[in-house]
Amino acid sequence: MPARSVAFANLRGGCGKSTILFQLASDFAKAHASTGVLVVDCTAFGDVSRLLLGGRQQHVKEAVAAQHADGRSTAHLLSALLAPETLPASAAPLTPGRPAAAAVAGGAPRGAASWAASGLDLNIAKRFGVPVSEVNSGIPMANLLLIPSGATKQQPCSGVGGLDILRLARSLRARLDALPGDWQIFLDTDGDLTFSPATEVALRTADLCYIPYQPTESDHDRATEAVSRLQRLQPPAAKVGGIVYNMVAPEPRSASEGWGPYSASFRPHEVAVRRMVDDFSADWWGRAQAAPASFAAASAADVQGEQQGFIQGSVMLMQDFGKPGNLAAELGIPFCSMEAGKQYSSGAGHTESLGASKKLAAVEANVQELRLLVEEAQAWLGATSAASAALDSQIDFLEAQQQAEDAALLQQAQQQAQQQAQEEQQPVLAVEGHPAPEQQPEHGSTVRSAGGSAAAMALAAAALVAVAPAAAPAAALAAAVIAGRQWLSK
């Protein structure tokens, strides 16, 4: 069955994309033990990879590097998808400044067809995925896998652009849909000022995109710009699944009251934050009304035209994670795997205990709330065959356009070569039309004039050899005559 896929994106780093994805993917794996959960890290520094493999502990960097050396990384995956016949098991992935298009020349088959021809395993979770529980004992869920990034601190497929991005997205989506069984995919992206090639591949592959940010004016501007750029991608990419107002300080005495329709578990402590959440959500509703096809909740039949239903289905609050969040980042242990009374030891020898922490229960419930929101949006979305067909159509159009441009360039090059050959023939004709030696005037009257045209005669001789190699002996004789005349003139 087709895999369900969710991306987290924004045009800003530090907004919580990787942290939330880490918690959400872990919670999903625990809640759905029979479903495969695959995290694809499409970032340069691999924040979610480090979290899943053990957090900030010293051995984690070595683990990421070891997986990369073994060919298990997003960079290797994207290289194999685009040009599998050039990627043996130990080959290096694509690097900046080396476009993938150069690796596949002459109309060679691309994507799944070429991969199948190469004999590589089509199961990308098996070929490139790392079972997280085998590396990080703090995450016991055997159904959670990671395709990591961050070993080289370079963005995957950063040398790729244009048509190859579309090809990568199509191939990646096809390989994800071909995974055996039921799969939930999560894709992490970089927080750059623009979409990197790997981010664009992720957004074109995913069904839904979630935008986390802190409820401030500047962060709201970044988030709306991210959605605007997402909407400008053609053919249309992922729909906006939801907006997550992140790192919100909860009101302590109302932890169980909630604040509808934004949260069932808490309300913001600051009045100013509550006011901004209302204002920003009204802005998102206006944007959804202007472009309903871009928002999953706006296009759902049961909330069509209803602002309250749109907000309830696509906007939520995520509270500041506090001490449990710090422990999760340090050790790579998600909330769903933490125990309130357990002593946790870091690699530096420090121990932490959450005690009978109400905060752990609160943040775990908050993550579960997000999981339910995502599951509801995926149920609205249904099949993605229309999006796949649009992607195929766009690729076919661009490939035909590229072929036409290549043909025009080839014709132009042929015409230039013919014109250059005609121009090179002109000096040859001059040499052929030069009077024969018996028709030349006496030497004494022409030595200096012949010496003055020595350079022109030499050029003519060179042109004769270039155009007609068989005339080389005659050209050599002409050059010798020129040299003799120059010597006599001295």
Give pLDDT tens digits along the chain (490 positions). 789 999 999 999 999 999 999 999 999 999 999 999 999 999 999 999 999 999 999 899 999 999 999 999 999 999 999 876 544 444 445 433 333 333 333 344 444 444 444 445 579 999 999 999 999 999 999 999 999 999 999 888 877 878 899 999 999 999 999 999 999 999 999 988 889 999 999 999 999 999 999 999 999 999 999 999 999 998 889 999 999 999 999 988 755 578 989 998 899 999 999 999 999 999 999 999 999 999 998 877 565 568 888 999 999 999 999 999 999 999 999 999 998 888 887 666 677 777 667 899 999 999 999 999 999 999 888 744 445 555 565 566 666 667 777 778 888 888 888 888 887 776 554 445 555 455 444 444 444 444 444 455 445 444 444 444 444 555 455 555 455 555 455 4
| Inter-CA distances, 61 with 70, 130, 188, 340, Å | 14, 15, 18, 28
What whole-number distance in Å separates Cα of residue 455 and Cα of residue 449?
Answer: 12
Here the tokens at position 114 are: 């070429």
DSSP conformation class of 159: T
CB 4 within 8 A of CB 205: no
* Res 399: pLDDT: 64
Cα–Cα distance measured from residue 114 to residue 83, given in angstroms and rounded to the nearest whole number: 7
Reference 10, options 293, 148, 216, 154; nearest CA is 216
Domain architecture of the chain: domains with CATH:
4-382 (3.40.50.300), 426-489 (no CATH)
What's the pLDDT at 343?
84
CA-based nearest residue to 224, from 281, 292, 274, 299? 281
Q: What does the pLDDT read at residue 137?
A: 94
pLDDT at 443: 47
Cα Rg of the chain, angstroms: 33
Give the separation between CA 123 and CA 129, rounded to whole angstroms. 9
3-state secondary structure of 276: helix
For residue 23, what pLDDT is reported?
Answer: 98
Q: Give the pLDDT score at 273.
A: 96
